[in-house]
């Protein structure tokens, strides 16, 4: 036995020395593509955005002389600061509604449907609207919500209302309706996934220990689904905070979110000002995601 292992080490020695460089630096070599990618497409653009936000902007030109002017304009203007507040308001409302609508749906799919096949079918059904383009999904709300839209016609014919409801379209309400419909599925998915992973034996154990269904939900099912809620909330938040298309399509350009302002500023080549809003949005998202991740330790739960 020992006689055989000694020469084996001898032959393996040189081979190992040849690959020494790769062996010793394998961690960094494997990380390199990722690092290069992130630096080129995340760190550098972010740095550029912050840098450009301090550039001097005049009506027709932009120069790299550093100034706080764009920042001052943003925070002192009723229009722009108001857009920030409106963005936050719509984000909170949409987040709350997607949770209120999404959680029961996920609960049904993840807990009440025990058949894995049916679960999959139901989740796929939730995604079917995504087979059409984003713009079509948004614009399809117009004939639904308009003054002579489907909802008003049905309600009028049923005699529930005598005048068509005007607030349905081209208001904040229509923006909220559109966004909730589009983003609710991003809440349902992660929550349903976490709920489906809850072992049936936990629920049986809790029941056997004397807990009622409501107690089991509060103490077992909901806490265990919380990581799914957080992931869903992050998805919805990131998408809603950067939204501009739904707002412009369903509000008739009356509801301006930060995203819409970026679009118009870039359209009129006001790069410095657009960069200011970009930085503000990025900071808000970082705070929101950081805050949500504090709610639950995702690394431990997933």
Closest to other proteins by CB, 58 vs 212, is 212
Q: Closest separation between CB of residue 210 and other proteins, Å?
A: 3
Binding site for other proteins (CB under 8 A): 199, 201-202, 204-212, 215, 219-220, 223-224
Instruction: Count Cβ atoms within 10 A of the Cβ of residue 171 and give its class: 0-12 exposed, 13-18 middle, 19 or more buried.
Output: middle
What residues pair up with 57 in beta bridges, in sequence order?
62
H or E element at residue 185:
helix 172-197
Structure tokens at 227: 């990581």
Contact call for residues 53 and 71 (beta carbons, < 8 A) = yes
**Torsion from C-alpha of 170, 176, 181, 182, nearest 10 degrees:** 90
Decide whether 122 or 220 has the Cβ nearer to other proteins.
220
Q: Return d(Cα 245, Cα 239) in angstroms, integer.
A: 11
Please report how close the Cβ of residue 117 comes to other proteins at its closest, in angstroms: 18
Please state the closest distance from residue 59 (CB atom) to other proteins, in A.
58
CB 175 within 8 A of CB 250: yes
Closest distance of CB 70 from other proteins, Å: 47
Burial of 70 (0-12, 13-18, 19+ CB in 10 A): buried
Work out how close the CB of 300 gets to other proteins at its nearest, in angstroms, rounded to a whole number. Answer: 8
Taking the least distance from each CB to other proteins, the nearer of 166 and 204 is 204
- Comparing CB distances to other proteins, the nearer of 101 and 224 is 224
CB of 18 to other proteins, least distance (A): 43
**Closest CB to other proteins among residues 78, 208:** 208
Nearer to other proteins, 223 or 252 (CB): 223
């Amino acid at each position: 036995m020992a006689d055989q292992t000694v020469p084996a080490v001898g032959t393996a020695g040189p081979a190992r020395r040849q690959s020494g460089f790769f062996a010793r630096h394998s961690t960094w070599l494997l990380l390199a593509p990722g690092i290069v990618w992130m630096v080129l497409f995340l760190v550098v653009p972010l740095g550029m955005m912050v840098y450009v936000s301090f550039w001097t902007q005049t009506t027709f030109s932009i120069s790299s002389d550093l100034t706080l002017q764009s920042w001052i304009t943003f925070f002192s203007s009723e229009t722009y600061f108001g857009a920030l507040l409106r963005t936050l308001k719509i984000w909170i409302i949409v987040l709350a509604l997607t949770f209120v609508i999404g959680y029961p749906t996920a609960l049904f799919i993840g807990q009440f449907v025990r058949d894995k096949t049916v679960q999959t079918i139901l989740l796929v059904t939730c995604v079917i609207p995504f087979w059409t383009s984003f713009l079509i999904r948004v614009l399809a709300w117009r004939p639904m919500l308009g003054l002579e839209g489907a909802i008003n016609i049905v309600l009028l014919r049923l005699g529930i209302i005598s005048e068509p409801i005007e607030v349905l379209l081209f208001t904040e309400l229509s923006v909220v309706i559109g966004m909730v419909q589009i983003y609710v599925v991003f809440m349902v998915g992660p929550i349903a996934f976490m709920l489906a992973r809850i072992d049936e034996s936990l629920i049986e154990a809790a029941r056997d220990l004397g807990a009622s269904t409501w107690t089991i939900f509060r103490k077992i099912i909901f806490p265990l689904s919380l990581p799914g809620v957080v992931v869903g909330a992050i998805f919805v938040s990131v998408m809603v905070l950067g939204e501009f298309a739904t707002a412009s399509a369903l509000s008739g350009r009356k509801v301006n979110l930060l995203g819409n302002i970026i679009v118009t500023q870039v359209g009129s080549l006001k790069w410095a000002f657009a960069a200011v809003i970009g930085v503000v949005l990025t900071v808000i998202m970082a705070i929101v995601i950081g805050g949500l991740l504090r709610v639950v330790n995702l690394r431990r739960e997933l």
